[in-house]
Amino acid sequence: MTQTQTVRELQVSPVADSVDLPIDKPVLPAALSRFLSGLLQRLLPWAVPVGLIVLWQIASSQGWLSTRVLPAPLEVIKAAWTLTVSGELWTHVKVSAGRALAGLAIGGGLGLLLGLLTGSVRLFETLLDSTIQMVRNIPALALIPLVILWFGIDESAKLFLISVSVFFPIYLNTFHGIRNVDPGLIEMGRTYGLSRWQLYKQIILPGALSSILVGLRFSLGLMWVILIVAETISAQAGIGYLTMNAREFLQTDIVLVGILLYA
């Protein structure tokens, strides 16, 4: 090895003036962007309703809309606040809620019971289902003249109409829910030695629960529709009475309060 080669091997490479270190990307702007995007997605559906309310308020304030036709939103809020402070609003709400829940308990309970019987026992299906299927085609509102003849205009007439309206959805969904339980699950339960009651409690009822809840949800909507009609026919208290009484005195703001409560 020559002296020149040795010197070359011992030469030290020049040190760089600066070293490029890895720089983390900014995290805050990206997180902020995602937050703003999510916030925009949540607020965007409210843009049209809020815009309509603002236009409504402007039109009422400028006199483009008559207060007898459609009072300003602030006037509606003021009327609701006055009724709330006086306690009158809560009185009517409690009466209407009591009617609705009582009708739901009567009609829904009967529909659930008969649905369980006809869905589980063929004899009850043969005896009852055909009759119920025929009667359910009669609209509940078409029974109003007959109900007034039977019960008059007191509370029993309102409870009857609500009970009839909620009965059929719960009955039908309970019946079909039990009949649509997977036969394989029932056979498996029998294989494991479950008694008839255990089979019913652990397999059939849980399997039909989703269908029963669908019927309950549909019944809740019908319950309020029938309640509105029943309370506007004749009542001494309730949201319907409040609304109809306000109509007599041309209090459109209170009428809108009643409509919003029903909604």
Number of residues written out for the chain: 263
pTM of full prediction above 0.75:
no
Quick one: fold of 98-236? MetI-like fold (1.10.3720)
- Scanning the structure block, which residue is given the tokens 């070293």? 19
Which residue ranges make up each domain of the chain? 98-236
Has residue 13 got a pLDDT over 60? no
Has residue 26 got a pLDDT over 70? no
Tokens (6 digits) for 219: 């019944």
| Cα distance between residue 59 and residue 21, in whole Å | 63
The dihedral over CA atoms of 210, 213, 214, 215, expressed in degrees to the nearest 10, equals 130
User: What does pLDDT average to over the chain?
Assistant: 81
Percent of the chain with pLDDT over 70: 89
pLDDT digits (tens, 9 = 90+) for 150-167: 888 778 888 898 999 999
Has residue 253 got a pLDDT over 80? yes
Is residue 164 within 8 Å of 143, Cβ to Cβ?
yes
**Mean pLDDT, residues 72-84 taken together:** 87
Has residue 25 got a pLDDT over 60? no
Has residue 30 got a pLDDT over 50? yes
Label residue 10 by pLDDT band (50, 70, 90).
very low
SS3 content of the chain, % helix, strand, coil (to 5): 80, 0, 20
Which of these, 47, 253, 228, lies nearest to 140 by C-alpha position?
A: 228
- What DSSP character marks residue 27? S
Has residue 7 got a pLDDT over 50? no
132 φ, ψ (degrees, to nearest 5): -65, -40
